[in-house]
């Protein structure tokens, strides 16, 4: 059976090489022999932390302040909880498909093979566009965060944008194992910071800060749990405020699906992918839900410092509701530390999204929906796509960073075009290629599966030997 051909007649689950036991790890088709291929060097901890790093960007540290001031503390909690439940269901379903067929890019290929080639084209290019926008958002946000420190003020954002672009370019064109280790370190810093902020928030709520004021849920009563979104009032205003946060929460969760894009480079995917999908789903939801709960407890939605920071587009940690709430409690040593964490968070998210976008282009090129030049890989490097991505996005980041004091808002507005673009991509490819939705009996479930079956074994599965190591793996 050759790649790209659908099965005629009823689906029979048999290896694509008709049971040939000579199928070995690394068996490639003619296309891969010509252009090179990606390698399976990512371990379970790498892909878990990559997905966490891609989904947890500056939003949890900075952007959540705008939602809090607009909607009050209860609406962000409800918005992130409801959308988080949908994300969990999506991740578990996607995890089943990726475990069955872990290939580079994954999602566009799944759409093409299981539904319609036009849908695969639309989803692939749309997801690449979204990843491009998020890279610009995070890098531009990082340039603003750096401006928080006095020594960086007065320097053009183009300098910081260029430095960050070069840094993530080096990580992305290096061996994928190096990229995985870097993302593991970046995300570890973020997770330690989030857990530390949650613990510190509990202490502040209980009166353990230097001002010894036990605030508890004080700000849920005054000024209130739900704000009204002008010009509506009453229940309608509260609902509109909730809906605005719900839309923002859905935008914030975007990126968790990058775990599927890494399936084609994961060691022992049949073992590691199910573990990663289950753990990433509840970790991301847990961090966002707990984060929105506690940040709404330590700072009021009408806090003057928060409103002033938002109105004047303050740089970095000065706009973070976490920092404002902790400073209100009498703790003054954290702003620079939190600012460094926010910077690391932005760079990590941009790094993960650059990886994801390049894999989407690679997946599209494999099925002829993108230029074949994007297939070229060289040993230990994955050069063509990442160089193209970085330089095309560099100009976008420069325009965002130099022409806006709040680049995140511009990037979020551009991202709202995603739905319209996906419809345009789908209709254009549908009309151009006259594709049809695959009947259920024609859906190809087995092409490429034999190669994955040959990978089954113990390669890449980490077995902790001590109690401490088992605890770290569980967490």
pLDDT in tens, 424-470: 888 888 888 888 888 988 888 887 777 777 766 544 455 566 666 56
Helix (H) or strand (E) holding 180: helix 176-205
How many helices (H) and strands (E) are present in the chain, helices listed first?
Answer: 20, 0
pLDDT computed for residue 460 by the predictor:
47
Mean residue pLDDT across the chain = 76
Q: Comparing 465 with 49, which gets the higher pLDDT?
A: 49
pLDDT at 32 over 50: no
> Nearest-CA neighbor of 264 among 176, 184, 193, 185?
176
Is the residue at 276 inside a domain? yes
Question: pLDDT by residue (tens digit) across 281-338?
Answer: 777 778 888 999 999 999 998 888 888 888 877 766 778 888 888 888 888 777 788 8
Report how many domains make up the chain: 1
Is the residue at 384 inside a domain? yes
Is the residue at 72 inside a domain? yes
Domain of residue 199: give its range: 42-437
Cα four-point dihedral sign 419, 410, 292, 233:
negative
Q: Comparing 392 with 325, which gets the higher pLDDT?
A: 325
pLDDT computed for residue 74 by the predictor:
92
pLDDT computed for residue 294 by the predictor:
92
Question: pLDDT by residue (tens digit) across 220-263?
Answer: 998 888 888 888 888 888 898 898 888 888 878 877 888 888 88
Bridge partner list, 378:
381
| pLDDT average, residue stretch 201-208 | 89
pLDDT at 472 over 60: no
pLDDT at 405 over 70: no
Is the residue at 97 inside a domain? yes
pLDDT computed for residue 465 by the predictor:
64
CA dist 240 and 67 (Å) reads: 12
Is the residue at 332 inside a domain? yes
CA dist 266 and 99 (Å) reads: 11
pLDDT at 415 over 60: no
| pLDDT average, residue stretch 101-119 | 86
pLDDT computed for residue 469 by the predictor:
57
Is the residue at 405 inside a domain? yes
CATH number of residue 139's parent domain = 1.20.1740.10
pLDDT computed for residue 28 by the predictor:
37
Of 5-19, 234-248, 387-401, minimum mean pLDDT range: 5-19
| pLDDT average, residue stretch 133-138 | 80
**Rounded percentage of the chain residues whose pLDDT exceeds 70:** 77
Of 48-57, 207-216, 465-474, minimum mean pLDDT range: 465-474
Is the residue at 74 inside a domain? yes
To the nearest 10 degrees (0 to 180), the angle between helices 234-253 and 407-415 is 90
| pLDDT average, residue stretch 387-403 | 50
CA atoms within 13 A on the CB side of 161: 25
| pLDDT average, residue stretch 381-410 | 49
Question: pLDDT by residue (tens digit) across 335-389?
Answer: 788 888 888 888 888 888 888 888 888 888 888 888 877 777 666 555 445 544 5
| pLDDT average, residue stretch 25-31 | 41
CA dist 52 and 96 (Å) reads: 19
pLDDT computed for residue 402 by the predictor:
45
Is the residue at 474 inside a domain? no
Angle at Cα 93 formed by Cα 82 and Cα 434, nearest 5°?
A: 110
**Rounded percentage of the chain residues whose pLDDT exceeds 90:** 6
| pLDDT average, residue stretch 115-139 | 85
pLDDT at 84 over 50: yes
| pLDDT average, residue stretch 69-78 | 90
pLDDT computed for residue 468 by the predictor:
60
Asked if residues 404 and 410 have their Cβ atoms less than 8 Å apart, the reply is yes
pLDDT computed for residue 78 by the predictor:
92
């Amino acid at each position: 059976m050759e790649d790209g051909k659908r099965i005629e007649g009823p689906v029979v689950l048999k290896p694509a090489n008709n049971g040939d036991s000579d199928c070995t790890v690394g068996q490639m088709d003619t296309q891969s022999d010509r252009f090179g291929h990606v390698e399976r060097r990512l371990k379970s901890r790498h892909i878990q932390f990559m997905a966490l790093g891609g989904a947890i960007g500056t939003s949890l540290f900075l952007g959540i302040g705008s939602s809090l001031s607009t909607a009050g503390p209860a609406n962000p909690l409800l918005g992130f909880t409801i959308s988080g439940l949908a994300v969990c269901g999506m991740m578990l379903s996607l995890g089943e498909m990726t475990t069955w067929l872990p290939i580079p890019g994954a999602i566009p290929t799944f759409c093409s093979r299981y539904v319609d080639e036009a849908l695969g084209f639309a989803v692939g290019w749309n997801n690449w566009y979204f990843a491009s926008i998020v890279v610009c958002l995070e890098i531009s946000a990082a340039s603003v965060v750096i401006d928080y420190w006095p020594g960086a003020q007065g320097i053009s954002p183009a300098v910081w944008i260029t430095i960050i672009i070069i840094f993530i370019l080096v990580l992305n064109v290096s061996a994928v194992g190096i990229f995985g280790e870097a993302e593991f370190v970046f995300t570890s810093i973020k997770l330690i910071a989030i857990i530390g902020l949650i613990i510190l928030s509990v202490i502040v709520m209980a009166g353990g800060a230097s001002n010894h004021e036990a605030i508890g849920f004080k700000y849920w009563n005054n000024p209130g749990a739900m704000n009204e979104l002008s010009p509506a009032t009453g229940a309608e205003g509260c609902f509109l405020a909730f809906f605005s946060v719900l839309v923002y929460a859905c935008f914030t969760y975007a990126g968790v699906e990058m775990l599927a894009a890494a399936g084609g480079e994961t060691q022992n995917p049949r073992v590691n992918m199910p573990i990663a999908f289950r753990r990433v789903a509840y970790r991301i939801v847990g961090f966002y839900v707990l984060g929105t709960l506690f940040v709404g407890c330590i700072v009021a939605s009408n806090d003057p410092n928060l409103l002033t920071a938002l109105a004047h587009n303050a740089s970095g940690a000065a706009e973070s509701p976490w920092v404002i709430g902790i400073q209100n409690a009498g703790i003054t040593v954290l702003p620079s530390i939190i600012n460094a964490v926010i910077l690391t968070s932005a760079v990590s998210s941009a790094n993960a999204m650059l990886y994801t976008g390049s894999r989407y282009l690679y997946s599209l090129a494999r099925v002829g929906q993108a230029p074949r030049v994007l297939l070229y890989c060289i040993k230990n490097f994955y050069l063509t796509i990442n160089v193209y991505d970085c330089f095309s996005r560099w100009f976008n980041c420069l325009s965002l960073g130099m022409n806006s004091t709040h680049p995140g808002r511009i990037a979020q507005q551009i991202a709202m075009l995603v739905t319209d673009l996906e419809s345009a991509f789908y209709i254009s490819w549908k009309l151009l290629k006259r594709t049809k939705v695959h009947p259920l009996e024609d859906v190809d479930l087995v092409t490429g599966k034999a190669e994955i079956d040959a990978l089954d074994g113990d390669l890449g599965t980490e077995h902790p030997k001590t109690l401490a190591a088992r605890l770290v793996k569980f967490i």
